[in-house]
Structure 1
Amino acid sequence: MSSPVGLPFLSFIKLDRDASSPIYIQVAQQIINAIQRGHLLIGSKLPGTRGLSDILQIHRKTVTAVYAELEAQGWVEVRPNKGTFVINPSGGSLPSEILITPTSLAKYPEKVGYLFNQSNILDSPFEYSQCRYGFNDGIPDIRLTQMQNLSSIYSATMKRKSTRRKLGAYNQEGSEYFKAQLSAYLNLSRGLHITQENVLITRSTEMSLYIISQLLINSGDLVLVGELSFFSANMVFQKAGARILTIPIDDQGIQVDYIRNNFDPTSIRLIYITPHHHYPTTVTLSAERRIELLQLANEYGFVIIEDDYDYDFQYEQSAVMPLASADTQGMVIYIGAFGKSLAPGFRTGFVVAPHDLMCEMRKYLGIIDRQGDIIIEQALGEMIEEGDIHRHLKKSLKIYRERRDLFCELLIHFLPDVVSFKKPTGGLALWTEWSVPFSLLKFANGCIHDDLFIPKTLLYQNAKVTAMRLGFGHLNDSEMEQSVAILKSRYDKMI
C-alpha cells in the first residue's frame, strides 16, 4: 500500500484561481487524471483533509468537497477510521484487504488494442552505422555546400514582408515564383517546353512516385522496370497494387525490343526508367532506344515515368536530352530532384506533366503536403534567378569529376583483375562487377569490422552477377583511398 507521505501532488495538480471552474472541481479532475495516468496507484491512501489542504494551500473544507466529488464519481472510497483510498471505478468498492501490490498505469502501451494493416513491402531497407568510412548509392558531399551563402539567402527570404504574408496561409500549390524559375531552368538545361502550370513541387522523388501511383495504378496493373532497378520506386509501385515485371539491361540501357517481343504492350500500364544513368548500373539509354520506346508508348498507350535523378551531375560536354524533351503525345511523366548538390534541407522534388494530370496531382499534394515549404522554394527560386545554382554546380562538378577519376584509379590499383567497371559519364557512383562470385553480404559484414560500412541496398547478387553500386561523391581523396584499401584487405581475407 502506498503511503500518502511524499506523494508529489504539486507535480500534477496546478490550480488556476482566476478560472471560472471552482477550485474543488479543478483538484478533483486533476486527481482523476493522475489516477488514470498511474501517478496515483489503485490502493493508494490519500492524505487527510488537513494534510492535503496544507500541501495545496487551500481551505480544508475545499478538500472535503474534493473527496466527496471523487467518492461520488467512484474514484475513491472513504473508510471510517482508516482514510481515503484510490479504487478502480469499474471494479466497485475496494476489497476489505487493501491491494498490497498495486498495478501501475504510468507506462505507455506497447501494443494497440485493435487491428490495423501491416505491410512487409514498406519495411525500411535503409541502414546506418557508426563506421568511420562508408559507401552509399551516390550522394553529394555536404562539405562542398556553401552553407554561409545558403544561410544568407534563407535569412533574407525569411525577413521579407512578402514572404511572411505567405506564411500565414496554407499553400499546397507551392511558390509560383519558384515554379516559374524552375520551369525556365528546366527548359534551358533539359530542352523542355513547359510553363509553371506543368510543374508540381514535392518533398522528394518518393513523394512524386507515390502521388503518381495513386493516380495511375490500380490493383493488378502491369508495371515494367529494369531487371536491376531502384528499390524505393519498386516499393511504391507494389504498395499501390502493381504487378512488377522486369526488362533486361545491357550497355545501352533497357532492351526496348524485349518489351515488344515478350509482352502484350496493350497490357502494360507504365514503364519506370532512369535513362540518363540507369539505376544502379549507371549506363545511359541510347538515342535509338529512346526513340523506339517513345514510339512504342505512343502506339500502345502506356505511360513512361522518366526519373532523371542525377541529371545535374554530368561530366561530358554533350548531354543526352531527356525523353520528355521529345514527347509530343503527353506519354512521359518527368520527375527529378532539384538542388541535389545542396544541403539536404534545401533539396526538393518535382514532377513535370501535362496540365490535366497536374490538376489531379495537386489534389493529392493538398492532402499529404498541404503546407509546403514556401521559404525554401522562394530561396531556391532566387538561387536560380541570381545564377547561384549554376555557379555552385560548375564548381562542384570539377571536384566530383576529379573524385570519379581517382576512384577509378584506386580500384584499378588495389583490385586489378578483381573488379570490372566502366567509367560513368556522370553521376556520383560506379557500378562494379566482381570477377569471382562470393557472398557479398558476408563481405559487407566483414568490412564493418574494418570500420567500413556497405549497406545491403548497394549489393546486387544473383546467379548472373556479383556486383556493387559504390558511391564516391561524398568521399575526399584520403577517405576514398582508405575505403578502397579496406575493400582489398577484406577481399584477400575471403578469397
Structure 2
Amino acid sequence: MVPLKSLIQLDKASLLPIFVQLSNQLGQLIRVGTLLPGQRLPGTRQLADLLALNRQTVVAAYDEGMAQGWLESRPGSGTYVASHLPDVKPQPLPSGDEPLLKNKATDGQPGYAFDRLDFLVRPVMTTQAGLHLDDGFPDIRLAPMDELSRAYRSYFRWGNPQQHFGYGDTKGHSLLREQLSMYLNETRGLQTTPDNMLITRGSIMGLHLASQVLLRPGDVVITGETTWAGATMNFRKAGAIVRTVPVDEHGIDLNKLAGYCEQQPIRMVFVTPHHHYPTTVTLHPSRRVRLLQLAEQYGFAVLEDDYDYDFHYLSRPILPLASADRRGMVVYVGSLTKSVAPAFRIGYVVGPSALIDELARLRRIIDRQGDPMLEFAIGQLFKTGDLKRHFRKTLRTYQARRDHFCALLASELRDAIQFTKPDGGLAVWARFDPAIDMEAMAGRAAQEGLTLSNGVFHNPPGQQLNGTRLGFASSSEEELERSVQVLKKVLY
C-alpha cells in the first residue's frame, strides 16, 4: 500500500480548494511513478477517514482526476489509476525532510540543457525609494498624469470600438506616428513622414529589432570604449563582433574608426552623439560630418541612440546625425520614457520606409503590436500641446537641479571627485579619486540610505575608470542636498 497519508500534504489555509489540491497531488504521484497504471485507489470513505476530510471532498477530487484523464472508474470495483498511462519507473521514497512532491520544474535548474550567455548578466536598474543618485531617470512626480488620464479616457469615446479595441498597425498607432513625425521634424530637423516611424516599447526594443535585421553572425560593430551595455548585449546576441574606439572630450575617435574601416568591413557604428553614454560628452560637429562621410564611403549603418535629446540646457541643442543624413545611412532610435515616465514604454525607430517595413515584420513575431491606448494618449498630448508644455516645464526644473547639484559637488566633494558640468541630460559623469573603492563606497552609502551605482559595469576591459553616473533629475533640490551629505560622510 502506498502511504498516502504521509505523502499528501493539504493546506487548508490556501486559496486553492482542498479537492483541487488533492487531485493535483494524486496526479503528481502518478507522474512520478509512485502510483502505477491500473493501481486501485482507496475508496472515498477510506481516503476521507485517512486524510480527515469530508467524503464529498474526496469524491470531487476523484471526479477531477477522471476529468483530467489520470483516473478511471470501474463500476462495482472502485477508482483506479488510468490503465492507458505509460509505465513510469517509480522514484524512491524521500529520505529526511525532502518532500516527494517537490516540483523540480520550478526549483532551480531545468531537466534540459541551454546556453547561458554571460554577456547578458547585468544588474537591472530600478527606481528606488528614498535617496538615490540613479543612472539618469526622470522625476515621475513631474509626469503629466492628469493630462494623460484625460487622454486615456478620450480613447474610450473615440471612433469605432471594434477598430480601436482590436488589432492595430504593427508599426504603431497612426495618431502617434503622425504627431511624432511632425515633432521630430520640428525639433530635430528631420524630414520624415509617418511611413518612416516605428513605435516600440522603449528604445531598447528598437535597438533589438535593428540589430536582428541589420546584423549577421560575424559582422563587425564599432562602439565607444565606454558605451551602453544594453546596446552591446543586443549586438552580441545577434552574433556580431564588437570592436571599440577611444572616447575623449569630443566623442568617439574617428581616426581610429577610419583605421578599422581600412582593415576590414564594418557593418555598423553605434553612437550616442548628443550626450555620449555614460560620459555625457557631445560629439564634435567636425566628427559628425566625418562619421557620415565614412558611412557613405564604406557602406556601414550608423545606429544613433538619441536617448535624451529633449534635455539640453544651452540654447538650441546640436541636431542629430539623422538630420544631416541624405543617403539613408542613419537609423535613429529614441524614447519618450525619460520625457514622461519609465513605466510608459514608448520608443521609436526612424529610418527609410523599406527598413521600417522590415522592422515591423520582425516586431510582429515577438510583439504583435504595442499598446494602442497608451500610444493614442501620447499622440493626443502631442496634438493638444500638453506634452510640449511638459517638456518645457521639466527642462527648466532639471536645469535648476543640475546647477544646484553641480554646485554642491564642487563645494562639498571637490577633493574626492572630478566632473564636467553637463550641457544636457539627466546625470553627471563623476570620476572618483583612484584611492576610493567604488564598490565599498556604494555599499556604505546604501547603509546610510543612499542608492547609487558603483560604476563597475562602465569599466572597459582592463581599465578602472572609477567613475559612475550620478542622476540628479529624479531628486528635488532638498533631496540632492541630503544625498551629497551622505556621500560626504562616506567619502571623508
- The TM-score normalised by the length of structure 1 is 0.83
Q: Secondary structure at the match of 1:37?
A: helix
Paired position in structure 1 for 2:115: 117
Q: Secondary structure at the match of 2:343?
A: helix
- Aligned CA distance change for structure 1 residues 414 and 164 (closer, same or farther; 3 Å): farther
**Once the 2 structures are TM-superposed, how far is the Cα of residue 116 of structure 1 from its aligned partner?**
2.0
Corresponding position: 1:37 with 2:28: yes
Alignment of 1:353-392 (within 5 A): 353-392=351-390
Paired position in structure 2 for 1:244: 242
Contact kept? 1:259, 1:265, Cα under 8 Å: no
Residues in 2 aligned to 1:6 and 1:245: alpha-carbon distance in whole angstroms = 57
RMSD between aligned residues: 3.6
Contact kept? 1:49, 1:64, Cα under 8 Å: no
1:5-54 residue CA offsets vs partner (Å, 9 max, x unmatched): 9989994658xxxxxxxxxxxxxxx9875412359994796335698795
Residues in 1 aligned to 2:96 and 2:247: alpha-carbon distance in whole angstroms = 71
Paired position in structure 2 for 1:200: 198
Q: Secondary structure at the match of 2:230?
A: helix
Corresponding position: 1:432 with 2:442: no
Residues in 2 aligned to 1:483 and 1:354: alpha-carbon distance in whole angstroms = 45
Which deviates the most, 401-410 or 438-447? Answer: 438-447
Contact kept? 2:267, 2:300, Cα under 8 Å: yes
Q: Secondary structure at the match of 1:156?
A: helix
Residues in 2 aligned to 1:101 and 1:481: alpha-carbon distance in whole angstroms = 53
- Aligned CA distance change for structure 1 residues 439 and 131 (closer, same or farther; 3 Å): farther
Number of paired residues? 460
1:125-158 residue CA offsets vs partner (Å, 9 max, x unmatched): 2256977322211110001112222112112213
Structure with max Cα Rg: 1
Paired position in structure 1 for 2:470: 470
Corresponding position: 1:145 with 2:143: yes
Paired position in structure 2 for 1:191: 189
- Aligned CA distance change for structure 1 residues 35 and 387 (closer, same or farther; 3 Å): same
Alignment of 1:119-138 (within 5 A): 119-127=117-125, 132-138=130-136
Alignment of 1:46-445 (within 5 A): 46-48=42-44, 55=56, 65=75, 68=78, 70=80, 73=83, 90=88, 104-105=100-101, 107-109=103-105, 110=107, 111-127=109-125, 132-162=130-160, 165-264=163-262, 267-445=265-443
Any unmatched runs of 5+ in structure 2? 49-53, 61-71
Amino acid across the alignment from 2:103: K
- Aligned CA distance change for structure 1 residues 464 and 344 (closer, same or farther; 3 Å): closer
1:259-310 residue CA offsets vs partner (Å, 9 max, x unmatched): 1235426511110000001111111111111111111111111111111000
Contact kept? 1:225, 1:272, Cα under 8 Å: yes
- Aligned CA distance change for structure 1 residues 13 and 267 (closer, same or farther; 3 Å): same
- Aligned CA distance change for structure 1 residues 101 and 130 (closer, same or farther; 3 Å): closer
Q: Secondary structure at the match of 2:242?
A: strand
Contact kept? 1:198, 1:353, Cα under 8 Å: yes
Residues in 2 aligned to 1:102 and 1:245: alpha-carbon distance in whole angstroms = 50
**Once the 2 structures are TM-superposed, how far is the Cα of residue 345 of structure 1 from its aligned partner?**
3.3
Q: Percent identity?
A: 36
Contact kept? 2:453, 2:469, Cα under 8 Å: no
1:440-483 residue CA offsets vs partner (Å, 9 max, x unmatched): 12221222222222224576456563322111000111110111
Amino acid across the alignment from 2:26: I
**Once the 2 structures are TM-superposed, how far is the Cα of residue 402 of structure 1 from its aligned partner?**
0.3
Amino acid across the alignment from 2:479: E
1:42-90 residue CA offsets vs partner (Å, 9 max, x unmatched): 479633569879526989xx97638545266289xxxxxxxxxxxx963
Paired position in structure 1 for 2:63: none
Contact kept? 1:219, 1:241, Cα under 8 Å: yes
Contact kept? 1:3, 1:45, Cα under 8 Å: no
Residues in 1 aligned to 2:25 and 2:416: alpha-carbon distance in whole angstroms = 67
Amino acid across the alignment from 2:431: E
Amino acid across the alignment from 2:83: Q
Contact kept? 1:163, 1:375, Cα under 8 Å: no
- The TM-score normalised by the length of structure 2 is 0.83
Q: Secondary structure at the match of 2:331?
A: strand
**Once the 2 structures are TM-superposed, how far is the Cα of residue 407 of structure 1 from its aligned partner?**
0.5
Any unmatched runs of 5+ in structure 1? 15-29, 76-87
1:214-265 residue CA offsets vs partner (Å, 9 max, x unmatched): 1111122111111111111111111111111111111111121221235426
Amino acid across the alignment from 2:395: L
